Every structure is written in structure tokens, then in C-alpha cells.
Amino acid sequence: MKINIYYGGRGLLDDPTIYVIGKMTEVLEELRVKVQRYNIYEQKNSIATLPQTLKDADGVIFATTVEWLGIGGYMHQFLDACWLYADKDRIKDLYMQPVVMSTTYGEKEAYLNLTTAWDTLGGLPCSGLSGYVEDLLSFQMNEDYGLIIEKKAENLYRTISQNIKSLPCSSQAVTRSVAKSGQLELTPQESEQLSKYVSDDEYVRKQKEDLAELADMFKNKIGESVQDEDTAYIIDFESHYVPQDDCDGTFSFMIEGKKKPLTIQITDGQLVCHYGQEDHVDHYIKIGQEALEGILDGRMTFQKAFFTGELSNRGDFNMLKNLDRMFIFSEDER
């Protein structure tokens, strides 16, 4: 039999959890159990690969210390890694005993959190222990406390040996029906490979650089699209403009699909085109993109678009004649 201990504290000399798991290790080894201890704080850069060590264990002890609030960051990261990368088929046959010691308030809540997390992962429960330690020396010298710890270790050994069953819990039902849909459907081998990638700092750094490069590329593409949006049709009007002496005015083209109107200003024969509103407009024109492109291609005139109903205007009809005089798009009219 093999039991893995995952210690989620900070490794302080006066940590009561270290004393508890040390005493439990002595009892288990006397029962000829192989005990492997993992100090999560020593493997903080490779926590994502730790769930793979669950594969060769018959049971596990999750041990942590409540120093001010909850189970602590290291244990929380390890549980996250179990959720993301562990072999769930292996976990469902694995017993877990929670051990939570506190130097402040909250050991009961932390104990419950560990139990609930393991239930949600689909694992098998085993009665653990939790307690408040005000003075470590007094705690170590108390024979009754030592006996309780020994009995808990023996209980874990007995539970695994006899494969003691338990009733189903609702957390596992939630995992099957709800939480599973939010995860990637990966095989155990794929999960293991992914956890190795996540733990590889160089690989993660390279991926972040690649993502940043892609983001910059798409930003540039979007910027180019916005720029194209802001210059659409302007070059066509500017390149086909023929100045006339009596055609000054401001024309506002409301083009279907464009957020801003295309404004054409002609003052003393000088042409200015841009997208945007103007305070004073002499002529309003509403036109679809297909009709406008037909005019720009020389297949239609402004007047013809009006008669076919593809263009509507508010103002003097002669204005359309002026537009056809000022903007020559047909090669035949040049």
C-alpha cells in the first residue's frame, strides 16, 4: 500500500500540521505502508504536474494550515491543478483524508472545503481531523491528542484495506451533470501532457509572446479596416472631379451601411471630401452602396439612380445634374 501526503502549508518550524503528518507517517510506516510526502511550497513552479503523482497511490492525505483565512494558496493551486489535469477515472477510486490544523479561526471551514473539493473531483471520502493549536509544545506533549492522531492514521489504513464504501454525495452529481460541460474533454494522457506544458515556464513564456504577437497583428488588421472605412469612395470622387464654375455647395451622402455620412464640400472649385457631419449642408442624398458603386463604375449616373428609385435627395433636382457634370465616371463622357 502507498499513501501520498500533500502538504499545503509554508513549511514553518512551528507549523502544527507538520507535527501531525509526521506522527501519522510514523504510524503508517509501522503498518508497512509506503509514505511519499510532497511539500507543495517546494514545487510551486511545477504544481500543474503534481496531480500525475496520484496515479500510483492507494490513498492520499491533504494537509494544510489555516494561518489567517482558508486552506492557503498552495493547496488551492494544487486542487485547481487536480480539477484541470488529474485523471478523474483514477481519482474516483482514491481515498482522501483531510488534515487541517489552525493557529487562528477557521479550521472547520477549511476541513469542509477540502472534503467538498475532493467530492466534486469524484474521489472517495475518509474521516480526517482538524484542530486549533494555540501552543505547539503543549499540543505535542498532550498524550490524548497524540492518540487521536494515531487513531486517524489507523483509520485511513483500515478504510483503504477494507475498501469501505460510502453513500453517493450531491457534489459528484453536480460534477457529472453540470461542471463537466465547462471542461475540455481530454484523455488522461492529454491531461498529463498539458500539465507538463503549463509547468514549463519557457513554453508558457513563448506562448504568451505568440499570443501578444497575434493580438498586435489583429489590432493592425482592425486598424487597417477602420482606415479603409474612413477613406472608402473618397479617392474615387477626388480622382474623377472636374471643376465647374457654378456648382459650389456642400453635399451630404448618407450611404447605406456607413455610420457616418460622406461629406463633399466644393468652394470656389476646390474639392474637400471626408466622413462626418457638417453644420451647414446644401444637399442631402441617400443612396445604397450597390447603386453608388454602379455610379463610380460608370454604369449609372446620379440622375438615372434617382429615376430608378435607388437614390433619394432633399433639395433642387438640378443638383443631380451638377453632380454628373462635376464627377465624370464614364469613360465615354470624358
Q: Is the entire prediction scored with pTM above 0.75?
A: no
Write the pLDDT tens digit of every residue in 25-36.
999 999 999 999
What domain count does the chain have? 2
Same domain (yes/no): 243, 171:
no
Helix axes 170-177, 107-121, angle to 10 degrees: 50
Q: Give the pLDDT confidence score for residue 227 in this predicted structure.
A: 45
The residue ranking higher by pLDDT, 145 or 232, is 145
Domain boundary among the residues 199, 214, 242 is at: 199
Tell me the percentage of the chain whose pLDDT exceeds 90.
56
Return the CATH number at 307: 3.30.1050.10
Same domain (yes/no): 165, 36:
yes
Return the CATH number at 166: 3.40.50.360
Same domain (yes/no): 193, 245:
no
The domain containing residue 66 runs over which residues? 2-199
Q: Is 151 within a domain?
A: yes
Same domain (yes/no): 291, 144:
no
Q: Is 205 within a domain?
A: no
Write the pLDDT tens digit of every residue in 89-124.
899 999 999 999 999 999 999 999 999 999 999 999
Same domain (yes/no): 181, 264:
no
Q: Is 217 within a domain?
A: no
Same domain (yes/no): 263, 132:
no
Q: Is 313 within a domain?
A: yes
Q: Give the pLDDT confidence score for residue 124 in this predicted structure.
A: 92
Same domain (yes/no): 24, 167:
yes
Q: Is 225 within a domain?
A: no
Same domain (yes/no): 111, 253:
no
Contacts of 125 (CB under 8 A, 6+ apart): 95, 96, 115, 118, 119, 166, 169
Same domain (yes/no): 43, 119:
yes
